[in-house]
Amino acid sequence: MGLLSIIRKIKRKEKEMRILMVGLDNSGKTTIVLKINGEDTSVISPTLGFNIKTMTYNKYTLNIWDVGGQRTIRSYWRNYFEQTDGLVWVVDSSDLRRLDDCKFELHNLLKEEVSLIFPLPLCLPHS
Ligand SMILES: Nc1nc2c(ncn2[C@@H]2O[C@H](COP(=O)(O)OP(=O)(O)OP(=O)(O)O)[C@@H](O)[C@H]2O)c(=O)[nH]1
Ligand SMILES: [Mg+2]
Whether 91 contacts 27, CB under 8 Å: yes
Q: Which fold has domain 16-122?
A: Rossmann fold (3.40.50)
Tell me: the pLDDT tens digits for 3-37? 666 677 776 777 888 999 999 999 999 999 999 99
Partner residues linked to 19 by β-bridges: 64, 86
- Sorted by where each begins, the domain ranges of the chain are 16-122
Check pLDDT > 80 for residue 56.
yes
Q: Which of 37, 61, 70, 94 is flagged as catalytic?
A: 70
pTM of this structure: 0.83
Average pLDDT rounded to a whole number, residues 87-113? 90
Residues 6+ apart with CB under 8 A from 30: 44, 47, 51, 66
Give the residue numbers of the binding site. Answer: 23-30, 47, 69
Centre of ligand 2 to C-alpha 34, Å, is 10
